[in-house]
């Protein structure tokens, strides 16, 4: 299937006057979304840098993978709306879409599913790697270590300049992350590792590797597996977020893909990013009762408290995160299936959302629930401990990281990422010998 002919187009010039010099900067336009001012020649012609800590107004690359409209609450994977994919697609099909740019034909999907299935086992030696961790190590620490170690096992897919090796590495990462994640969980609970089964689909396989025990046959619940598959779809990619930008920056130096994904996992762990699902559930458990919500909302509004409502707010979404809507529906579906309709945590979450969304502070700052607000309740109901929530986020986001990494490697204009700075340190000065200080 021909790749869509997407590329940016010229859209005139922006004029920037610095001192007594006016510099013409090209403006480029994409398919949809804000135009960009190309500042690449600004330093050479104007001897100035742009300044944008946190990259609030900076486009780091040209990408055709995911589009977000934060004001409208829109999220598209290769042009397809997230709610349609969550409803009608499955995670492996979305992986194909993110990697290749188009929905697969039946034959392409069958081949791709088989390719991923055939890579789900890990090198047997890798299981020794876990032995070095304490049983109570945070699973994200284990994931950083073990995924980074994959580059020590798969030398035949670390040459980033070989498209065949890039494809194999991509398939290996998508296939092995659930196996490694399940091993991290099993290790933390002192149970034996469970091997993947080729007759199961991606999410069924993951649930079985996490919750089966050798002492009895495992009977999976297809409704819960489908719910987890949908959760994976929601988390698969999200434009140039912090962990994706980390993967791109690591990859821009030529580091091997396994090391780049390990860097993405490390960044995702932070509570301001992927770690928010763990933090959000802990916050809901700490609130404990709807009567205590006003006290926490008050703290969240107090700058000096240092407290924020975890699972609320977003750098891009200034409207409801479209993933949070699907996440909330999935949460109700899982709790209904498990017969825990009156989960007190869900009651607290829904009342907290209701109060926050009617509060002037949250309305004025456009703070809405994000994907992490309802995911924790759902994952807890599925049987995962809080410490595994961000691990599941990493399992799902691996395909997005890999797709973005591949797009960067194939971009002819890409070069090593190397930002500059505004230096505010000491001017040059001479060394003072110790006896003269
Ligand atoms: C993810 O980038 C992505 O796409 C990430 C992600 C993905 O799929 O990859 O979507 C996944 O990381 C979702 C976000 C999960 N994080 C949280 O839920 C943590 C809680 N939220 C925040 O800390 C915050 O909202 C961020 C980090 C998500 C966004 O921060 P920004 O864009 O840097 O905004 P900010 O910190 O400058 O906040 C703007 C204002 C501030 O007040 P003022 O300084 O203007 O007075 O809003 C306030 C903040 O104090 N604010 C909050 C708040 N979030 C922002 N106040 C209370 N509770 C909050 N949660």
Alpha carbon distance 171, 333 (integer Å): 31
Q: What letter would DSSP give residue 342?
A: T
Per-residue confidence (pLDDT) for residue 157, from 0 to 100? 83
The mean pLDDT of the chain is 94
Distance 131 CA to ligand 1 centre (A): 37
Once rounded to an integer, what is the mean pLDDT over residues 134-161?
Answer: 93
367 in contact with ligand 1, CB cutoff 6 A? yes
Q: Is the dihedral of CA 226, 234, 121, 384 positive or negative?
A: negative
In which band, very low, low, confident or very high, does the pLDDT at 2 lie, cut at 50, 70 and 90? very low
Per-residue confidence (pLDDT) for residue 1, from 0 to 100? 41
372 in contact with ligand 1, CB cutoff 6 A? yes
Report the SS3 class of residue 23: strand
pLDDT > 90 fraction of the chain, expressed in percent and rounded = 91
Per-residue confidence (pLDDT) for residue 3, from 0 to 100? 53
Strand duo 21-29 + 36-37: pairing? antiparallel
Alpha carbon distance 34, 332 (integer Å): 36
Alpha carbon distance 142, 145 (integer Å): 5
Q: What is the pTM of this model?
A: 0.94
Distance 280 CA to ligand 1 centre (A): 13
Residue 206: which of 337, 334, 397, 392 has the closest Cα? 392
30-47 per-position pLDDT tens digit? 999 999 999 999 999 999
Alpha carbon distance 227, 61 (integer Å): 33
Per-residue confidence (pLDDT) for residue 342, from 0 to 100? 82
300 in contact with ligand 1, CB cutoff 6 A? yes
pLDDT at position 4 over 60: no
pLDDT at position 332 over 60: yes
99-113, 276-290, 403-417: range with highest mean pLDDT? 99-113
Catalytic residue flag (residue 314): yes
375 in contact with ligand 1, CB cutoff 6 A? no
Pocket test for ligand 1, best of 76, 282, 314 (most atoms within 8 A of CB): 314
Using CB atoms within 10 Å of the CB of residue 211, give its burial: 0 to 12 exposed, 13 to 18 middle, 19+ buried. Answer: middle
Alpha carbon distance 266, 263 (integer Å): 5
Per-residue confidence (pLDDT) for residue 5, from 0 to 100? 57
pLDDT at position 104 over 70: yes
Residue identifier of the C-alpha nearest atom 32 of ligand 1:
315
Sheet holding 9-18, edge to edge: 9-18, 21-29, 36-37
139 in contact with ligand 1, CB cutoff 6 A? no
Per-residue confidence (pLDDT) for residue 320, from 0 to 100? 87
Residue in the block written with tokens 């999976």: 220
266-313 per-position pLDDT tens digit? 999 999 999 999 999 999 999 999 999 999 999 999 999 999 999 999
Task: Give the chain's length.
Answer: 437
Catalytic residue flag (residue 119): no
360-374 per-position pLDDT tens digit? 999 999 999 999 999
């Amino acid at each position: 299937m021909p790749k869509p002919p997407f590329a940016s187009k010229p859209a005139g010039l922006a004029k920037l006057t610095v001192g007594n010099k006016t510099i013409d900067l090209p403006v480029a336009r994409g398919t949809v979304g804000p135009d960009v001012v190309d500042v690449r020649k600004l330093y050479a012609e104007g001897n100035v840098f742009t300044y944008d800590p946190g990259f609030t107004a900076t486009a780091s690359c040209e990408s055709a993978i995911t589009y977000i409209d934060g004001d409208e609450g829109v999220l598209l994977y290769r042009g397809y709306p997230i709610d349609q994919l969550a409803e009608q697609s499955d995670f492996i099909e979305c992986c194909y879409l993110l990697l290749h740019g188009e929905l697969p034909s039946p034959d392409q999907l069958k081949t791709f599913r088989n390719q991923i299935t055939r890579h789900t086992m890990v090198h047997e030696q890798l299981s020794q790697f876990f032995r070095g961790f304490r049983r109570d190590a945070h699973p994200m620490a284990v994931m950083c270590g073990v995924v980074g170690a994959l580059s020590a096992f798969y030398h035949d897919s670390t040459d980033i300049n070989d498209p065949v090796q890039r494809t194999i590495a991509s398939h290996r990462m998508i296939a092995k992350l659930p196996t490694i994640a399940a091993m991290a969980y099993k290790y933390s609970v002192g149970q034996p590792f469970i091997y993947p089964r080729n007759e199961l689909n991606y999410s069924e396989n993951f649930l079985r590797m996490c919750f089966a025990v050798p002492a009895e046959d495992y009977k999976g619940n297809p409704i819960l597996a489908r719910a987890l598959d949908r959760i994976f779809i929601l988390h698969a990619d999200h434009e140039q977020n912090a962990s994706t930008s980390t993967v791109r920056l690591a990859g821009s130096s030529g580091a091997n893909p396994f090391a780049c994904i390990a860097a993405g996992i490390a960044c995702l762990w932070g509570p301001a990013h992927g770690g928010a699902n763990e933090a959000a559930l802990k916050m809901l458990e700490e609130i404990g009762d709807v009567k205590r919500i006003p006290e926490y909302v008050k703290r969240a509004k107090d700058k000096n408290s240092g407290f924020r409502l975890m699972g609320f707010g977003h750098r891009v979404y200034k409207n409801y995160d479209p993933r949070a809507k699907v996440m909330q529906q999935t949460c109700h579906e899982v709790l209904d299936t498990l017969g825990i309709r009156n989960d007190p945590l869900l009651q607290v979450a829904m009342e907290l959302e209701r109060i926050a969304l009617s509060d002037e502070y949250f309305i004025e700052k456009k703070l809405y629930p994000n994907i992490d607000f309802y995911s924790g309740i759902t994952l807890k109901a599925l049987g995962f401990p809080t410490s595994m929530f961000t691990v599941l986020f990493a399992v799902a986001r691996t395909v997005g990281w890999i797709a973005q990494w591949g797009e960067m490697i194939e971009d002819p204009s890409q070069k090593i990422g190397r930002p500059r700075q505004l230096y505010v340190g000491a001017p040059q000065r001479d060394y003072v010998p110790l006896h003269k200080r």
